[in-house]
Amino acid sequence: MTSSPFSSSTRRQFVVAGLAAAATLGAGRAAWAQSGRRTLRIGYQKGWLSILKQRGTLEQRLAPLGVQVTWAEFTAGPVQLEALNVGSIDFGNVGEAPPIFAQAAGAPLVYAGASVPRPALEAVVVPQHSPIRTVVDLRGRRVAYNKGSNVHYFLVKLLEQHGLRYGDVQSVFLAPADARAAFERGAVDAWAIWDPFLAAAQHTLGARVLADATGVVNNRGYYFTSRHFATQNADVLRIAIEEVNAIEAWAGQHRDAAAQELAAVLGLEPAITALHLQRSPLGVVPVTPEILAEQQSIADTFFDLKLIPKKLDLRQAAPV
């Protein structure tokens, strides 16, 4: 999630931003190595980790262990994972699709934790008065979505569930900001999108949910680390996951306050984040073989779609 879900950035801008962050963090790593102390370098996008950073509770928990915490903000999941790949961050969170591409590129990624299933946080929406009433009605229609994203996988599985092939719809590959614009002017018939873009489209455009991912895919988020860091710092990772869970537990018990705080972080109207939280299960769980099998299905689907160059074995990213 970003501070402004309606702003768009080019891939080149993402890469430049990621390399700049990586250079800064790499210098920090060298300094801490000389001091002989441990450090946890967190890469994050605006969201729950932003709130954890503001609270300072993670630093308090890790101080007795002599662990320093540093934070670097990123604009997108793939850039975070590139920073992990070059050894510039140790921990972060992303959706389910970016780790697949990172592993395909050889990143030493390990799953440190997973969100509980969040299927209602992604959906195919249509204009309020669209004649499209069922998923089958999408046959031959123009559907906008972000290529290689969580909703790409969701759309494939949704179509299969309703007896359609992936090629039965006209795919229009657009980033969320461009897809919203196309949806608003009627240049596409439907839009597959995730929260908070989804909640914003419902709240500000009157978009109608044709189908969400309930009963189709689980749509998890993931916390990641590198194999080296996981091997050397299991105690630090355990505390980090506990603190993330504590933030989410607070949000679950104080949803109105959490919506206000998340709105301030994301730069959105509180009504949008309230809608998002209303349908958002909260909590982080260990990554089990069953959860890795979910990721394996995504990897296999992306390989079949020729989105990644080789078959993956997700067991290579199993927790240490």
What pLDDT does 167 receive? 96
CATH T-level topology, domain 119-212: D-Maltodextrin-Binding Protein; domain 2 (3.40.190)
pLDDT in tens, 20-33: 444 444 444 444 44
The residue extents of the domains of the chain are 11-118+220-317, 119-212
Quote the pTM value. Answer: 0.85
**Which residue positions in the chain have pLDDT lower than 50?**
1-35
Q: SS3 string of the chain?
A: CCCCCCCCCCHHHHHHHHHHHHHHHHHHHHHHHHHCCEEEEEEECCCHHHHHHHHCHHHHHHHHHCEEEEEEECCCHHHHHHHHHCCCCCEEEEECCHHHHHHHCCCCEEEEEEECCCHHHEEEEECCCCCCCCHHHHCCCEEEECCCCHHHHHHHHHHHHCCCCHHHCEEEECCHHHHHHHHHCCCCCEEEEECCHHHHHHHHHCCEEEEECCCCCCCCEEEEEEHHHHHHCHHHHHHHHHHHHHHHHHHHHCHHHHHHHHHHHHCCCHHHHHHHHHCCCCCEECCCHHHHHHHHHHHHHHHHCCCCCCCCCHHHHCCC
- The reply to whether 119-212 shares the fold of 11-118+220-317 is yes
What pLDDT does 76 receive? 84
- Architecture label for domain 11-118+220-317: 3-Layer(aba) Sandwich (3.40)
What pLDDT does 250 receive? 95
What pLDDT does 31 receive? 41
